[in-house]
Amino acid sequence: MKDLGELMQQMQQVQQRMQQMQQELAEASVSGEAGGGLVRVVMNGKGEVREVHIDESLLKPEEREIVEDLVVAALNQAKERMEEMVAEKMRDATGGLPLPPGFSL
C-alpha cells in the first residue's frame, strides 16, 4: 500500500487534471444530426446547447411535427456524444486511479 503522502500527491494531481478537464469540456463541442443532416444541434461538453440548425426545406407549417421530432433526435445524439466525451476525459484525468464507489470528483 502506498504511503499517505504519495496518495495525497496523486489526489492533488487528479484534482488539477479534473479542473483542466472541466475547462476543456466547456470549450469542446459535439454535434448531433437527424433527418440526414436536415437538423443539427451543437452542444458543449457540459451539455449546454449552443446552436440549432434547421434546413429551410423543413420550415413549412405542415412539417412542424417532423421538425420537432428531428430536433429531439439531434439533441439526444449530441447528448450521447457529449457523455462519451466526458467519460473518456474522466478516464484520462484520473490516470487509472481507482476511486471508491460513490466517490466523484
pLDDT value at position 99?
Answer: 60
Domain annotation for the chain: domains and CATH numbers: 4-94 (3.30.1310.10)
Q: φ and ψ at 50, to 5 degrees?
A: -105, -35
**Secondary structure (DSSP) of 57-104:** GG-SGGGHHHHHHHHHHHHHHHHHHHHHHHHHHHHHHHTT----TT--
Mean pLDDT estimate for the chain: 84
What percentage of the chain has pLDDT greater than the value 70?
89
pLDDT, tens digit (0-9, with 9 covering 90-100), for 49-83? 889 999 999 889 898 898 889 999 999 999 899 88
Is-contact 58 21, C-beta < 8 A? no
